[in-house]
Structure 1
């Protein structure tokens, strides 16, 4: 029973939930990028180089078939995903720098500081009226 409580506390922490959401969104984003590369970008590149279907490029050596066109498509997927993540993190870092650049407001004085300030002001006032 204790193990179940520990697991529940772990699984419901904010960081774990944020990570799970990030993984799910990342997987969906990966599918979108894969579709973009295989359905739009690679056919356009194929047209530019003479109507060649890059995903179909392969070399047969004996009984082994090397599908380097699929590899090129996967590399392009990776480059697009990594560049997108880079741009996203870059944007987040810009916002963080703007937050850090804002000057911090001084903390409100404590009750003791307020009381000591009042005492100081009263003593000053008494000294000034005693001199006059």
Structure 2
């Protein structure tokens, strides 16, 4: 029971739970925006009073494509927000961090292992190398 308690009280598990709840709330907010404002504008352009109730029938089967288009627009908005506010900034941060690491190492001319720029001897093959200017 103690292990289960530690598992539940881990910081990353609580952070994940909070992220899921906030994501669900954000999703419902975007869905409301799409169904209340965006698709009625599209419907007004198309000449229908309510875009969500647009459908067509084939052999008595009703296909509600308006609901699908609402969901598609919501998905695109959520994906764009996640990309521009989470993925892109995180990628830029990782790129900056890796550039700093790459700039501080070079390849040994003898064994081609990565060694620090200021090294005078390779830690893998023990050959003497000239330090690069930093």
- What TM-score range do you get, normalising by the shorter chain? 0.5 to 0.7
How many angstroms does 1:11 deviate by? 1.1
Gap runs ≥5 in structure 2: 105-134
Q: Deviations over 1:72-121 (max 9, x none)?
A: 111111111111111121123223434455578xxxxxxxxxxxxxxxxx
Question: By percentage of residues, which structure has more helix?
Answer: 1
How many angstroms does 1:65 deviate by? 1.7
Bigger Rg, structure 1 or 2 = 1
Secondary structure at the counterpart of residue 60 of structure 1: strand
The number of residues matched between the two structures is 102
The alignment status of 1:46 with 2:43, answered yes or no, reads yes
More relative contact order in 1 or in 2 (CA 8 Å, sep 6+)? 1
Gap runs ≥5 in structure 1: 105-132
Secondary structure at the counterpart of residue 80 of structure 1: helix
Tell me the TM-score normalized by structure 1.
0.66
How many angstroms does 1:61 deviate by? 3.2
Alignment match, 1:114: none
CA distance in 2: counterparts of 1:14 and 1:51, whole angstroms: 50
CA distance in 1: counterparts of 2:97 and 2:25, whole angstroms: 30
Misfit runs of 4+, over 6 Å = none
- What value does the CA root-mean-square deviation take over the aligned residues? 2.2
How many angstroms does 1:59 deviate by? 1.9
Question: By percentage of residues, which structure has more strand?
Answer: 2
Tell me the TM-score normalized by structure 2.
0.65
